[in-house]
Chains A and B, each alone.
Chain A
Amino acid sequence: MNKTAEITQAGLTRLIRQKWVGPLIIMLLVAGLMAMTTDRFLQPRNLANVSLQMAIVAIVAIGATFVILSAQIDLSSGSLVALTTVLTAGLVKEMGVPVPLAILLMLVMGAAAGAFNGFFASYGRIPPFIFTLGTLSIFRGFAFLYTGGTPIFSVSPTLNNVFYAQLLGIPAPFIYVLLLYSGAAFYLRYTEGGRQIYAVGGNQDAARLSGINVNWVRTKAFIIAGLAGAIGGVLMTARLDSGSPNYAQGMELMAIAAAVIGGASLFGGQGSVLGTLFGAMTIVIVQNGLNLHGVPAAWQQISLGAIIAAAVGVDMWRRELSGSARRLFGGGSPAGPGAPPPDRDDTRQRVDTSTDRVGAQE
C-alpha cells in the first residue's frame, strides 16, 4: 500500500517536472471556466469550430517556437500568412496552376521568406526584433501590391477540400497538426539540428566555441518558421476559399503568445512544441469563450494583449522565482555536511545574466 503510494508519488513528481504540464493545466482550467460559464462551449459544433480555428494558429506557432528557442523573435509570420493567401489564390484561380504545384511553390516561397529574415537577422547582424518588424510591413505590403488591395474570392473547390476533407472521420487539419507537431517534436529532441537550436538559444558564445555554426542554426530556425507560415497561409486560403492582404492580422502575436504560454522562454533555449500546442489551444479557447459571451471584438483584442503581457511577465519572473525557490528548499546541490552554504553569489550572477541577455535581445 505504502509502496504503491511512493511509486505514484515519484511518477507524479516526474510528470510535474515535464515542462508541458503547466501549460496543459492552464489550458484545462481555461476550458473548464468556459464550460462552466456557458453551455454552448461544450456543444459538439462549437468544439469542432474551436479545433479548426486552432489548427492554423497552432501550425504557425511551431515556427514561432523554433525562432524563440534560438533566442530570436519573428514578428512577420502573420504578414507571411496573408501574403501566402493572396499568392495561393492568385496562382490557383487566376493562373490556373494545379493545387499540389501551387502548394509546393508556396512552401518554397515560405522557406525563401524565412531565409530572408534569417539571413539578415544572423549574418546581417540586424536584431531579429527590428528586422522582422520590417518584414512584417514588407510582406503585407507585397500582398497589397499583388491584389491591389481587393480580396480574391471563390478560389477552388479542390483547395477548399484540403481543409475540409476527412480521413476515417477525422478532420484533415487535425491530421496536419498531429503530423507537423510530431515531426517538430522529433526534430527538436532526436536530431543534431534540434539540439543545436537549444544550444544556440541557451548560450550563443558557448555554442560557437563548441563548433556550432550559429548563424546557420539561427537562419534554419527562421526557414522552419517560414515553412510553417506558408503552410498556415495555404490552409487559411483553403478554409476561407479566398485570399486577402487583410487576413491573419496579429497572428504573429498569437503564435508568439502560444509559444510563451506553452513555456518557451523569450531568453531562448527553453520550451517545447507540445507546450506550444497547449498554448495555442488556450488562446483559441479564450477567444471562443469571449465570442460566446458576446464580448465585443475590441475587448477581445485587449484581452489577447493582456494575455501576452502576462505570459511574458511570467517568463521573466519565472527565472527569479525558480532561483529563490531553489535557495529556499536547497534543491540542486546535495545539501549535507561540507556542502557550500547557499550564499555563493547566486543572486548576483542570476541578476547579471538576465540583464545581459535582455540587452542582447534588443
Chain B
Amino acid sequence: MGVHGQHVPEPPLWQLRDVSKAFPGVQALDAVSLDLHLGEVHALVGENGSGKSTLVKCLAGVHQPDTGTLSHRGKAVRVKDPLAARSYGVATFHQEFSLVPSLTVMENICLGRLPGRGPIVSWAQARRHAQDSLAALEVQVDPDRTVSSLSVAEQQFVEIAKALSQEMSLLILDEPTAALGPYEVERLHEVIRRIAQQGRAILYISHRLDEVMEVADRVSVLKDGRLVESRPSEELSVAEVVRLMVGSDFEEHYPHRPAAGDEPRLEVRGLSSEGGVADVSFTVRRGEVLGLGGIAGAGRTEIARALFGIDQVTAGEVRIDGERVELMSPARAIDAGVALVPEDRKAHGLFFNFAGPENMTIADLAKLLTGPVLRLSAERRSARELARKLRIVGRVMDGSVQFLSGGNQQKVVLARWLFTHVRVLILDEPTHGIDVQAKVEVYHLINELSEAGLAILLISSDFPVLLAMSDRVAVVRDGRIVHIAGRGELTEHGLVEMAAGGVVVA
C-alpha cells in the first residue's frame, strides 16, 4: 500500500518501503509502506500487538528493520540508534515524560543546551528561549514554575516545546491523551494541529479512535503487522476503522445487556469526604451499572476512594443491602462487600512478586484458612477456576503476573474481587491501556457481573463507552453529582458539555 493519490512536488519527510521486522515467534511488521509528510498529522492505529510500537521503534532507531528501506527527504538512510534518529529530527513522546520534575519549565526546555558564555549561564536568554518555544504553541505556561507543579497536559506541552526548540521535524506521540480529560485533550489537539501547520510531521498513536479521527489528516491501520488501510481521515468513520482493526462490527464493542433489578444495593446519602467529595447522593440497584462521568479531577476517583475507605468520610451515610456500613478503611470496605479495581493496576493493583493464584486470593485469605494454616492446594484450585471463568490466558498459575498482557492483568485484579464476597464493584478506568479485544471481554464481564446481581460503579473517561455500558450516568463536577441521566437521555456531546460545566468546548 502507500500513498498514490496526491502528488507532492517535494519528497515526503519519511518514506517507508516494504519494512519487515520479525521477532522470535511473531512477524511484527510485514512489508509495511508508509509516507509521512510535513504539515500532516498521521494517525497510526491498531490493536496491541499489531506492530505499532515496532514501527515507531524502527523510526526511533531502537529496532532495525529486517528488510525494506527508510528514506528521509528522498534519501535512503539507516537509523542505527536513537541518537541517529534524533539527528534526523525524530522526537518520540511516551506516556512517561522525560522531564525533570524538580526543575523549572525553562530549565527543562533548555536542558543540555543552556545558553550563555563559557560556563556562565545566561538565564535571561534561557527564559526568552523558553518563552519563544511556548509561545509558538500558543500555550500559557509560566517558565519559572517547577515541572512537578504542572498538570499532565501542561507537562506534555512543555515536552513538545522542548522538542520544537530542538528543531525536531517528526514528532511521534504515543498515547498522548491517556491521562487527559476531554478538555485537555482538546487543548493538546489544538497544539498538535498548530505545530503541523508550522511545517512538521506528526505521527499520532492512540487507542481512542474518536479522538484520532478528529485530529488526524490521514489514518493508517495496522493489523497483525500488515498495513490494511491508509486513507485521509475524512474518508473513514470510527466504525470502519474498528472493523479494519479487529474485523468485527462496532456494535459488538458496547454489548451492554441491562440487568438492573429493583432492590437498592448501594445507597449513598449526603456523602462528603476529605478527598473533596461534597454532599453526594445516589442509589445503585442490584445488577445496575451506574456510570460516573466527568473531566479528569472532577472527583469521580474521589467518590470511589471514599466508598472504599481510602479517604476519610466527613459526612453522610452509606447503606449496602439496606444495612448501614462504616467504611473507615479498605479492610472494612472489603468486609462490607465493596471492591475497587483501581485505575493504575500496575501501581495499585498487582503484586509482581506473585503469580496468579497469590494475586487472586490476597483480599480474602481467611477463606483458605484451616486453623492458622493456608490450604495452598485449595488456593490453586480456586485460581484455576477463576482463570477459566474469566478466560485469562498466559502463564497465570506460575510465573509473575508482570509478564501477562494488560488485559489479562486486569482480569487477574477482577478475579481477586470475585474471590471475595463482593456486592458493590467499583471499576476505575477498567479498560485503560488494554487492547480492543480485551476491552470487549471486560465489557462482557461487566455484563456477567451485573447479571449476577452486583451493583457496579463504572468510572471511564471514554465517554462513548461510559454511555453505552451504563444503565444511568451520574455527571460529576467539583466533587458533586450535578445530574443523573437515564439510559439514552444523554448524548456524548451533552455529557462533555455538562462535565465541563455547561461551557461548550471550542
Contact with B along A172-214 (1 / 0, CB 8 A): 0000000000000000011110011011011101111111110
| A206 and B54 form a contact (CB under 8 A) | no
Select one of B53, B333, B348 contacting A341, CB under 8 A: B53
Q: For the complex, is A337 an interface residue (Cβ under 8 Å from B)?
A: yes
With a CB–CB cut-off of 8 A, which chain A residues contact B224? 338
Q: How far apart are A33's CB and chain B's nearest CB, in angstroms?
A: 32
With a CB–CB cut-off of 8 A, which chain B residues contact A333? 394-395, 403-405
| A203 and B365 form a contact (CB under 8 A) | no
Contact with A along B330-374 (1 / 0, CB 8 A): 110111000010100011111111100010001101100100111
Q: For the complex, is B393 an interface residue (Cβ under 8 Å from A)?
A: yes
Q: For the complex, is B24 an interface residue (Cβ under 8 Å from A)?
A: yes
With a CB–CB cut-off of 8 A, which chain A residues contact B363? 210-211
Select one of B331, B403, B404 contacting A213, CB under 8 A: B331
Select one of A213, A335, A341, A348 contacting B96, CB under 8 A: A348
| A349 and B351 form a contact (CB under 8 A) | no
| A341 and B353 form a contact (CB under 8 A) | no
Q: For the complex, is A289 an interface residue (Cβ under 8 Å from B)?
A: no
| B25 and A191 form a contact (CB under 8 A) | no
Instruction: Evaluate whether A195 and B49 lie within 8 angstroms (CB atoms) in the complex, with A205-B347, A209-B349 already known.
Output: no
With a CB–CB cut-off of 8 A, which chain B residues contact A341? 23, 26, 28, 49, 51, 53-54, 225
Select one of A195, A202, A331 contacting B352, CB under 8 A: A202
Q: For the complex, is B156 an interface residue (Cβ under 8 Å from A)?
A: no
CA separation between A82 and B366, bound complex, in Å? 39
| A209 and B348 form a contact (CB under 8 A) | yes
| A190 and B53 form a contact (CB under 8 A) | no
Q: For the complex, is B63 an interface residue (Cβ under 8 Å from A)?
A: yes
| A211 and B334 form a contact (CB under 8 A) | yes
Interface size class of B (residues with CB under 8 A): 35 or more
Q: For the complex, is A330 an interface residue (Cβ under 8 Å from B)?
A: yes
| A343 and B53 form a contact (CB under 8 A) | yes
Q: For the complex, is A361 an interface residue (Cβ under 8 Å from B)?
A: no
Contact with A along B399-429 (1 / 0, CB 8 A): 1101111000000000010000000000000
| B365 and A348 form a contact (CB under 8 A) | no
Nearest chain-A residue to B334 (Cβ)?
Answer: A211
Q: For the complex, is A352 an interface residue (Cβ under 8 Å from B)?
A: yes
Q: For the complex, is B48 an interface residue (Cβ under 8 Å from A)?
A: yes
| A202 and B353 form a contact (CB under 8 A) | yes
With a CB–CB cut-off of 8 A, which chain A residues contact B204? none
Select one of A189, A203, A209, A270 contacting B330, CB under 8 A: A209
| B395 and A334 form a contact (CB under 8 A) | yes
| B53 and A198 form a contact (CB under 8 A) | no
Nearest chain-B residue to A71 (Cβ)?
Answer: B353
| B48 and A344 form a contact (CB under 8 A) | yes
CA separation between A71 and B394, bound complex, in Å? 28
| A338 and B49 form a contact (CB under 8 A) | yes
Instruction: Evaluate whether A195 and B353 lie within 8 angstroms (CB atoms) in the complex, with A190-B373, A339-B25, A344-B49 already known.
Output: no
**Chief secondary structure at chain A's binding surface:** loop
| B403 and A210 form a contact (CB under 8 A) | no
| B57 and A340 form a contact (CB under 8 A) | no
Q: Which of A208, A268, A335, A343 is most buried by chain B, counting CB atoms within 10 A of its CB? A: A343
Nearest chain-A residue to B333 (Cβ)?
Answer: A211
| B26 and A332 form a contact (CB under 8 A) | no
Q: For the complex, is B376 an interface residue (Cβ under 8 Å from A)?
A: yes
CA separation between A330 and B394, bound complex, in Å? 12
Select one of A206, A270, A343 contacting B63, CB under 8 A: A343
With a CB–CB cut-off of 8 A, which chain A residues contact B365? 192, 195-196
Q: For the complex, is B487 an interface residue (Cβ under 8 Å from A)?
A: no
Instruction: Evaluate whether A348 and B94 lie within 8 angstroms (CB atoms) in the complex, with A190-B376, A341-B49 already known.
Output: yes
Q: How far apart are B91's CB and chain A's nearest CB, in angstroms?
A: 16
Interface size class of A (residues with CB under 8 A): 35 or more
Q: How far apart are B22's CB and chain A's nearest CB, in angstroms?
A: 9
Q: For the complex, is A326 an interface residue (Cβ under 8 Å from B)?
A: yes
| B366 and A343 form a contact (CB under 8 A) | no
CA separation between A268 and B48, bound complex, in Å? 31
With a CB–CB cut-off of 8 A, which chain B residues contact A339? 25-26, 49
CA separation between A325 and B474, bound complex, in Å? 48
CA separation between A213 and B54, bound complex, in Å? 43
| B49 and A205 form a contact (CB under 8 A) | no
Q: For the complex, is B463 an interface residue (Cβ under 8 Å from A)?
A: no
With a CB–CB cut-off of 8 A, which chain A residues contact B369? 192
| A192 and B394 form a contact (CB under 8 A) | no
With a CB–CB cut-off of 8 A, which chain A residues contact B157? none
| A198 and B353 form a contact (CB under 8 A) | yes
| B403 and A206 form a contact (CB under 8 A) | no
With a CB–CB cut-off of 8 A, which chain B residues contact A343? 23, 28, 53-54, 57, 62-63
Select one of B310, B351, B395 contacting A206, CB under 8 A: B351
Contact with B along A338-362 (1 / 0, CB 8 A): 1111111100110011000000000
CA separation between A210 and B366, bound complex, in Å? 13
| A209 and B342 form a contact (CB under 8 A) | yes
Q: For the complex, is A336 an interface residue (Cβ under 8 Å from B)?
A: yes
Instruction: Evaluate whether A198 and B340 lie within 8 angstroms (CB atoms) in the complex, with A340-B48, A343-B23 already known.
Output: no
Select one of A189, A270, A330, A345 contacting B353, CB under 8 A: A270
Q: For the complex, is B308 an interface residue (Cβ under 8 Å from A)?
A: yes
Q: How far apart are B25's CB and chain A's nearest CB, in angstroms?
A: 3
Contact with A along B371-384 (1 / 0, CB 8 A): 01110100000000
Nearest chain-B residue to A271 (Cβ)?
Answer: B353
Q: How far apart are B114's CB and chain A's nearest CB, in angstroms?
A: 25
Q: For the complex, is A269 an interface residue (Cβ under 8 Å from B)?
A: yes
| Cβ < 8 Å to B, chain A residues 244-289 | 268-270
Q: How far apart are A139's CB and chain B's nearest CB, in angstroms?
A: 31
Instruction: Evaluate whether A345 and B25 lie within 8 angstroms (CB atoms) in the complex, with A210-B362, A211-B331, A332-B399 already known.
Output: no
CA separation between A337 and B335, bound complex, in Å? 43
| Cβ < 8 Å to A, chain B residues 313-335 | 329-331, 333-335
| A201 and B353 form a contact (CB under 8 A) | yes
| A199 and B374 form a contact (CB under 8 A) | no
With a CB–CB cut-off of 8 A, which chain B residues contact A349? 346
With a CB–CB cut-off of 8 A, which chain B residues contact A340? 26, 48-49, 405
Contact with B along A308-333 (1 / 0, CB 8 A): 00000000000000000010001111
With a CB–CB cut-off of 8 A, which chain A residues contact B342? 209
CA separation between A220 and B397, bound complex, in Å? 29
| B362 and A199 form a contact (CB under 8 A) | yes
CA separation between A272 and B62, bound complex, in Å? 38
Nearest chain-B residue to A332 (Cβ)?
Answer: B403
With a CB–CB cut-off of 8 A, which chain B residues contact A195? 358, 362, 365, 374
| A344 and B349 form a contact (CB under 8 A) | no
With a CB–CB cut-off of 8 A, which chain A residues contact B399? 332
Select one of A191, A269, A345 contacting B351, CB under 8 A: A269
| Cβ < 8 Å to A, chain B residues 166-211 | none
With a CB–CB cut-off of 8 A, which chain B residues contact A191? 372-374
| Cβ < 8 Å to A, chain B residues 126-167 | none
CA separation between A340 and B403, bound complex, in Å? 11
With a CB–CB cut-off of 8 A, which chain B residues contact A345? 53, 94
| B25 and A203 form a contact (CB under 8 A) | no
With a CB–CB cut-off of 8 A, which chain A residues contact B400? 332
Using a CB–CB cutoff of 8 Å, the interface residues on chain B facing chain A are 23-26, 28, 48-49, 51, 53-54, 57, 62-63, 94, 96, 224-225, 308, 310, 329-331, 333-335, 340, 342, 346-354, 358, 362-363, 365-366, 369, 372-374, 376, 393-395, 399-400, 402-405, 416
20 contacts between A and B (CB under 8 A): A191-B373, A192-B372, A195-B358, A198-B351, A199-B351, A203-B347, A205-B347, A205-B348, A206-B350, A207-B362, A208-B330, A209-B348, A209-B349, A211-B363, A338-B224, A340-B405, A341-B51, A342-B24, A352-B96, A353-B346
4 extra interchain contacts, Cβ-Cβ under 8 A, other than A330-B25, A353-B352? A198-B353, A206-B350, A341-B51, A342-B26
For the complex of A and B, the 8 pairs showing the least CB-CB separation, nearest first, are A332-B403, A335-B25, A340-B49, A269-B353, A202-B353, A341-B28, A211-B331, A211-B334
